[in-house]
Chains A and B, each alone.
Chain A
Amino acid sequence: MATATFRIWRGEKGSGKFRDYSTEVTPGMVVLDSVHHIQAEQANDLAVRWNCKAGKCGSCSAEINGMPKLMCMTRLNSLPLEQPVTIEPMKAFPHVKDLVTELSWNYGVKKRIAKFKPRRPDAPDGTWRMVQEDVDRVQEFRKCIECYLCQDVCHVLREHHMHDQFIGPRFLVYAAALEMHPLDDADRIPNLRTQDGIGLCNITKCCTKVCPENITITDNAIIPLKERVVDRFFDPLTKLLRMFKAGSG
């Protein structure tokens, strides 16, 4: 039976070191399987988050050979096993233990964003009508599994630690899902410009590249939101022209 070596970050609250574990490899395995084997057989107290093991819950985010990924969706046959596979916790968040990081900042940010506020119902029975084409656009954003890999890779958070000025790609996607929701009436544009710090994103698209749900974060969510902010606050002429166009079209 083939074996592979996994070089896993062990330690608490930022201090720690890599430890090597060798374990058996069988066809079809993903990185999370190896972590579970190691946990069951060699390191019962190895801290790791996971839930669905099917890429649907976004719990098992980590950096595998330096790349932000879901451990449950990373096949071992996609990695060079002749050298150790390194597994580290996400870097953009405070470390807790081993592969677990402190994610409560994300929950706090989300709570600050104005909640969904539907327009008045379209039908007397209190229901609404929406066409699938309008729904498709927000459904892309609502696929997000909140794995926070996009936050992890965003240099504004990861390198510059501007967590108090910038909400990060995940919550720009969340804001886009609300702003483009066919029923939503709330206005998040002023806050996107100020407290949410949308201007800090310089569209390097790192977030889009790591999204396990293949959400086109930068092009479909962030850029349209940036345009709305610009239209509202910086470019009255464009705004007028657009109104004119919309009126005549």
Chain B
Amino acid sequence: MSEYLTHEYDVLVIGAGGAGLRAAAEASAGGAKVAVISKSLLGKAHTVMAEGGIAAALANVDERDSWQVHFADTMRGGQYLNSWRMAELHAKEAPGCVRELEAWGAVFDRTVDGRILQRNFGGHRYPRLAHVGDRTGLEMIRTLQDHDVHLGMDVFMEYTVVTLLKNSDRVAGAFGYDRERGRFHVFRAKAVVLATGGIGRAYKITSNSWEYTGDGHSLAYHAGAALMDMEFVQFHPTGMIWPPSVRGILVTEGVRGEGGVLRNGDGRRFMFDDIPAAYANQTADTEEEGWRYTQGDKNARRPPELLTRDHVARCIRREVKEGRGSPHGGVFLDIAWIKERIPNAAEHIKRKLPSMYHQFKQLADIDITQEPMEVGPTTHYMMGGIRVDPDSQMSDVPGLFAAGECGAGLHGANRLGGNSLSDLLVFGKRAGEYAARYARENSLGTINPDEVALAEKQALAPFESDSTEGPYAVQYALQDMMQDLVGIVRQENEMLQALERIEQLKARAQRVGVSGNREYNPGWHTAIDLNNLLTVSELVTRAALERKESRGAHFRDDYPAKDGKFGSFNIVIRKGAGGDPQIIREPIPEMSAELKKIIEEMK
């Protein structure tokens, strides 16, 4: 391996968002020699964009909250396709993880008696989200980043992994390049944690940055790990829609948590028109009751704007499609109206939602304290991902772990807002702990030089191509296609067409040529990322074809109802011996009696 820069670690963490940094901290604390690979600079990962808060049943604001209620809310939100064991661990361990962040320096908003304040969010029965205004993700990533750098780990900033390396069936490391110089590196590691985040860049309208090309999903899949729930892509109901250049940028659910309401073009609060049966008992009957809920009245039930994201997104789409949208093809989200209810409303809004205020003021010339915002659904989050053991987070590939968005299980068919940041902490910690343990019990694997040479050749192919096909054109074509054919509402003939188009795009991606040299060349990096985007796009489409029902974030026009028999299994995909995806309907394991009882009691 003399021709490559080679590094050796006990635990290699790929990804430096919340999950990666939490995993790295835990592995370091467990005595492992740790490296973190960060696709961007440290502290810039998508976690920074998270706004609303971290869901944890601290019960600081409402003493009726408990891990049991959080567990039941998570399962209901996920339409019972969740890994119940992960949902249980998550609900039990999230409060400790939030307190730990505080011990590491995070400064959350406070209750009157000086404890961590919690806010309302969609699908959560009680105020549960620990938060810092509307910049909770920034607080979290900065806290983790500042904590981690004192633990003695090495951080490789602006490095990208192009393939995982294996030694027979177990993981042996990873192969990648640094952006600045374009040099290749071999990372040998006893254990590898994937914490690469989501796949949002497969779609045209997304809240995700350039990094979210499904790298971890694709790396794991090609390394032989099983992926699960790939049909469940979350479209967040409220993204900015106007002006065109800001389309997709997230508008936090916190706006609705603070009393913001959704209205259609006719001024009607359309969310009252369609309330799913599973939530009827928990939803306000009147606008008045909904308002009281947002202001902390414990006897009131939540307004329908705080139903789960999948449902709200579909209601918005329906209003627009049936001609009741706002001028630019969305609906109105109004927080300014609260001035009818409280004094100094403008100041209150600026204090509670400062970054939303600035975002709209600067990017859209809208003062949200005075006028409504225009919003519409945006691709936000991937529920599906690498199938892991719920306790250890290890995938099917020995030594390969996954945490955070690139892992699957916790969220089932739909993620509740706020459950992502807690997911990163709880399962990042677990992945780091078990990866360090695996590293203690195993030695370094052997690297196969042929595997490395092949990966290098493939990575450099765009420089050899004399085709005029550029990487961005292929990426845009894929994003347009996925948005149109495998988006928020799906049907079989469109998805079959999508599979054909993916094959054509794969052929185009093979030909892509890039100009310039290997030093900090975004065109080249985009060409490499195309492989991952095409892999995850195909897997999303295949899983979505297989699930012939509508459930959670997956909505089929040709099968618009939920079908009980599809509620008993997850769709699992793995790479077959011939290289084609193999789809398995995998039965959900029987839930323990204790957990069943909790769900029954909370219905």
Contact A59 B245 (CB under 8 A): no
Q: Which of A33, A54, A126 contacts B250 (CB 8 A)?
A: A54
Would B520 and A98 count as touching, CB distance under 8 A?
yes
Contact residues on A (Cβ < 8 Å of other chain), bracket? 35 or more
Complex: A41 Cα to B43 Cα, angstroms = 30
**Is the Cβ of A56 less than 8 Å from the Cβ of B149?**
no
B344 at the interface (CB under 8 A from A): no
From known contacts A56-B138, A57-B44, A97-B520, infer whether A126 and B99 are also in contact, taking CB-CB under 8 Å.
yes
CA distance A46 to B210 in the complex (A): 15
* Contact status B244-A129, CB under 8 Å: no
Segment among B82-90, B104-112, B292-300, B593-601 that sits at the interface with chain A: B104-112
Contact assessment for A56 and B107 in the assembled complex, using a CB-CB cutoff below 8 Å? no
Could you tell me if A44 and B522 are in contact, using CB atoms closer than 8 angstroms? yes
A97 CA to B519 CA in the complex, in Å? Answer: 8
Query: Using Cβ atoms and an 8 Å threshold, which residues of chain B touch A75?
Result: 362-363
User: Is the Cβ of B520 less than 8 Å from the Cβ of A135?
Assistant: no
A73 to B41, Cβ gap below 8 A?
no
Contact between A129 and B114, CB atoms less than 8 A apart? yes
Q: Using an 8 Å CB-CB cutoff, how does the interface string of B451-484 with A read, 1 for contact, 0 for none?
A: 0000000000000000000111100100000000
- Cβ–Cβ contact A73 & B363, under 8 A: yes
Q: Kindly supply a per-residue 1/0 record for chain A positions 137-155, scoring 1 wherever the CB is within 8 Å of any chain B CB and 0 otherwise.
A: 0110011011000000000
Q: Please, which residues of chain A bring their CB within 8 A of the CB of B516? A: 44-45
- Complex formed: what's the CA distance from A142 to B132 in Å? 10
> Within the complex, what minimum Cβ distance (angstroms) separates A188 from chain B?
13
B142 located at the interface, meaning its Cβ lies under 8 Å from any Cβ of chain A in the complex: yes
CB distance from A1 to the nearest CB of B (A): 13
Q: Using Cβ atoms and an 8 Å threshold, which residues of chain A touch B41?
A: 49, 59, 103
* Interface residue A26 (Cβ < 8 Å from any Cβ of B): yes
Do A30 and B363 touch (CB < 8 A)? Answer: yes
Min distance, Cβ B234 to any Cβ of chain A, angstroms = 18
B128 → A minimal CB distance (Å): 17
Question: Given contacts A28-B243, A49-B41, A51-B210, could you give 6 more A-B pairs where the C-beta distance is less than 8 Å?
Answer: A40-B470, A40-B473, A116-B105, A127-B99, A142-B139, A183-B105
Q: Is the CB of A51 within 8 A of B103?
A: no
Report the interface size for chain B: residues with CB under 8 A from the other chain. Answer: 68
CB under 8 Å from chain A, chain B span 401-419: none
- Whether B510 sits at the interface, judged by CB under 8 Å, is no
Interface presence of B445 (CB below 8 A): no
B243 contacts which of A27, A54, A132 (Cβ < 8 Å)?
Answer: A27
Does A85 count as interface, using CB distance less than 8 angstroms? no
List of A residues within 8 angstroms of B138 by Cβ: 56, 142-143, 145
**A47-B522, A52-B49, A115-B147 are known contacts. Are A127 and B107 too (CB-CB below 8 A)?**
no
Residues of A within 8 A of B249 (CB): 53-54
- B464 CB to closest chain A CB, in angstroms? 16
Note all chain A residues with C-beta closer than 8 A to B102.
Answer: 127-128
Partner of A28, one of B43, B244, B359: B244
Cβ of B523 under 8 Å from chain A? yes
Which one of A41, A45, A57, A116 contacts B146 once the chains associate, using CB atoms below 8 Å?
A: A116
Contact between A96 and B180 (Cβ–Cβ < 8 Å)? yes
Chain A residues near B110 (CB-CB < 8 A): 130-132, 135
| Complex Cα spacing A100 to B157, Å | 14
Q: CB-CB contacts of B511-531 with A at 8 A, as 1s and 0s?
A: 000111101111110100000
In the complex, 7 of the A-B residue pairs with CB atoms within 8 angstroms, ordered by the A residue number, are A28-B363, A44-B526, A51-B44, A116-B105, A131-B114, A132-B110, A142-B139
Assess the A12–B246 pair: CB atoms within 8 A.
no
A218 to B99, CA, bound (A): 32
Cα distance, A75 to B102, chains bound together (Å): 37
Contact of A118 among B45, B105, B146 (CB under 8 A): B105
The complex places the Cα of A44 from the Cα of B353 at a distance, in Å, of: 37
Measured CA separation A12–B155 after assembly (Å): 24
Q: Is B242 an interface residue (CB 8 A)?
A: yes
Closest Cβ neighbor of A30 among chain B residues: B245
Q: Bound state CA distance, A111 and B40, in angstroms?
A: 19
Whether a CB of chain B sits under 8 angstroms from the CB of A189 is no
Question: Which of chain A's residues have a CB closer than 8 A to the CB of B46?
Answer: 51-52
User: B107 and A116: CB pair below 8 A?
Assistant: no
A39 close to chain B: CB less than 8 A? yes
Q: In A29-75, which residues have CB < 8 Å from any B CB?
A: 29-30, 33, 39-41, 44-59, 73, 75
The answer to the question of A104 belonging to the interface, with a C-beta cut-off of 8 Å to chain B, is yes
Q: Are A28 and B245 in contact (CB under 8 A)?
A: yes
In Å, the complex CA distance between A137 and B517 comes to: 47
Interface: A181 (CB within 8 A):
yes
Q: Is the CB of B149 within 8 A of A111?
A: yes
How far, in whole Å, are A35 and B364 apart by their CA atoms in the complex?
A: 19
Cα separation A107 to B515 with both chains bound (whole Å): 32
Give Cα A142 to B242, complex, Å.
Answer: 29
Kindly report which residue of chain A lies nearest to residue B521, judged by CB atoms.
Answer: A45
- The reply to whether A130 and B471 contact each other, CB–CB distance below 8 Å, is no
In B28-58, the 8 Å CB interface with A consists of 40-46, 48-49
Tell me, in angstroms, the Cα distance from A136 to B277 when the chains sit together.
Answer: 42
Across-interface contacts of B246 in A (CB, < 8 A): 28, 54
Minimum CB–CB distance for B111 against chain A, Å? 9
> CA–CA, A138 to B246, complex, Å?
30
Given A54-B250, A54-B359, CB of A44 within 8 Å of CB of B107:
no
The answer to whether A73 touches B362 (Cβ under 8 A) is yes
The residue from A28, A33, A51, A102 contacting B211, defined by CB atoms under 8 A apart = A51
Tell me the residues in window 140-185 of chain A with beta carbons closer than 8 Å to chain B beta carbons. Answer: 142-143, 145-146, 178, 181, 183-184
Distance, CA A12 to CA B181, complexed state (A): 11
CA of A181 to CA of B143 in the docked complex: distance in angstroms?
13
Determine if A44 and B364 form an interchain contact, defined as CB atoms under 8 angstroms apart.
no
* A54 & B519 in contact (Cβ 8 Å cutoff): no
Contact between A115 and B521, CB atoms less than 8 A apart:
no
